[in-house]
Amino acid sequence: MKGSIIMAVSEFNNITIAVLSGKGGTGKTFVSTNLTLVSHGFTYIDCDVEAPNGHLYFEPQQSINQQGVDVLIPQFDSSKCIQCRQCIDFCKFNALAMVKEKVFVFEQVCHHCGGCSIVCPTGALEEIPRQIGVIKSYESKGHRVLSGELNLGEVSGVPVIKRLHQTNEKNSGIIDCPPGSGCSVMESIQNVDYLIMVAEASSFGAHNLEMIHELAAIMKKPYSVILNKTTNQKNPSKDYCERNGIQVLAEIPYDKTLARWLSEGEIPVLKSSNYRKLFEGVYMKVIVGLMNEEITRA
Amino acid sequence: MRIVIPTNDNHQDSTTSSRFGRAPYLAAYDSLQKNWSFYKNPGESNTGGAGIKAAQWAIDIGCESLIVDKLGSNAADMLKAADVKLYKMVDGRLVDLVLMAEKETLPRLNDFHEGFHNHGGQ
């Protein structure tokens, strides 16, 4: 079984699996770092660009390749403007306004579509690059690591996430998503093949699971759940999975040893054979799930 | 003088709205003609930049004074550049508020928030 799955993985190139959760602190980074290490050469991609922390587990071993991420922002030239307002009418995000014959450009509202400079009949709006973050790429623990970082004060990490996906190109990868179910999560999972939703054993956890479950349905992605930090008490997230017929890949009990390892930057699959087996099992189930998807589609 | 106040409804007895970009209506009072006009807020249904849209509207109709509870920094920058007087909203009927604006007895608005970044509709 295992041999044929490894064969299948090598035939399937370019598999991307996203790990997401409706809230922070459920264990996305825990799941994605461990899953990367039991995978067959997958890249670890930290899309949580507002607070990337995967590097705490995948510390860079050699040099880091760093690339800036720019967005294009219109720059206004009053000497060319004829106050026709076509740019302002065009901008659906209201990033442009006109006061006393002068165009205001609100850089943090701009979505960098370039439309204003196209519709401007006199060339009064020229797009100029502005750096909003960086992409770091390096090798660690036998895997390629890509980590996006949004500069402080920037509003949207979406362009950095977009660039992360472009940088990864056609390599298989585990994507460590930002928390929640907003724009940056949608951008992170848009082109992935499979979703693993990590849920905590609480009512709040179940509510957030429901939100990303809805998102998964809208995005038409195959998905399953990992129940993290479970105890012998009632688990509303588990109940939610049962009610909705969602596959549970694993239940990971609350474990103080695990918490200590994580706080020390250790990756549990490298410390314990039990955790290695657990994550190998998760990885196998996901690959089998993906193969079944392929069969259903074919 | 043209005075703009965000409101919840489109008549003179309407309550005031504590929001600007996402207030349902914008009331404009012409202190020369002494008449009121009520407009659907052009910013309200926008997913983002609602305050900017509403400020653009106010500037375009020739607003000279704006009475608001709170204002985002983007809209404030525009309104200040257009020399619109910004007053802090107090409890009271619309007629009382415009009277206070005319007499300049309303407090000036000096603090501006950073904006809600597409979450103002909630």
Confidence class for position B112, pLDDT limits 50, 70, 90 = confident
- High-pLDDT (> 90) share of chain A, %: 85
Q: What is the pLDDT of residues A154-169, one digit of tens each?
A: 888 999 999 999 998 8
Q: From the CA of A208, how many Å to the nearest CA of chain B?
A: 17
Residue A65's beta-bridge partner residues?
A137
Q: How far apart are CA B2 and CA A279, in angstroms?
A: 67
The minimal CB distance from A109 to the residues B48, B56, B82 is found for B48
Confidence class for position A297, pLDDT limits 50, 70, 90 = low
Average pLDDT over residues B58-68: 96
- Going by the DSSP 8-state scheme, the letter that residue B88 receives in this structure is E
Average pLDDT over residues B79-84: 96
N-terminal to C-terminal alpha carbon distance within chain B: 33
For the entire predicted model, the pTM comes to 0.80
Q: What is the pLDDT of residues A24-39, one digit of tens each?
A: 999 999 999 999 999 9
Taking an 8 Å cut-off on Cβ atoms, the answer to whether A97 and B52 are in contact is yes
Taking an 8 Å cut-off on Cβ atoms, the answer to whether A94 and B117 are in contact is no
Supply the pLDDT for residue A10.
56
SS3 state at A179: coil
Q: How far apart are CA A46 and CA A136, in angstroms?
A: 10
Q: What is the pLDDT of residues A59-118, one digit of tens each?
A: 987 788 999 999 999 999 999 999 999 999 999 999 999 999 899 999 989 999 999 999
Per-chain mean pLDDT for chain A: 92
Average pLDDT over residues A12-24: 88
Question: What's chain A's length in residues?
Answer: 298
Hey, what are B15's tokens? 């309550």
> Please, where are the H alpha helices in B7-104?
50-60, 73-81, 94-102
Confidence class for position A8, pLDDT limits 50, 70, 90 = low
Q: How far apart are CA A208 and CA A26, in angstroms?
A: 10
H or E element: which one contains B111?
A: none
What type of residue sits at position B43? G
CA dihedral for A201, A204, A209, A212, sign (positive or negative): negative
A to B CB pairs, distance under 8 Å: 39
Give the A-side interface with B, CB within 8 Å: 88, 93-95, 97-100, 102, 104, 106, 108-109, 155
Supply the pLDDT for residue B122.
36
Supply the pLDDT for residue A217.
95
Supply the pLDDT for residue A227.
97
Q: How far apart are CA B76 and CA B55, in angstroms?
A: 8
Mutate to test the interface with B, among A76, A83, A106 (most CBs of B within 10 A): A106
SS3 state at A207: helix
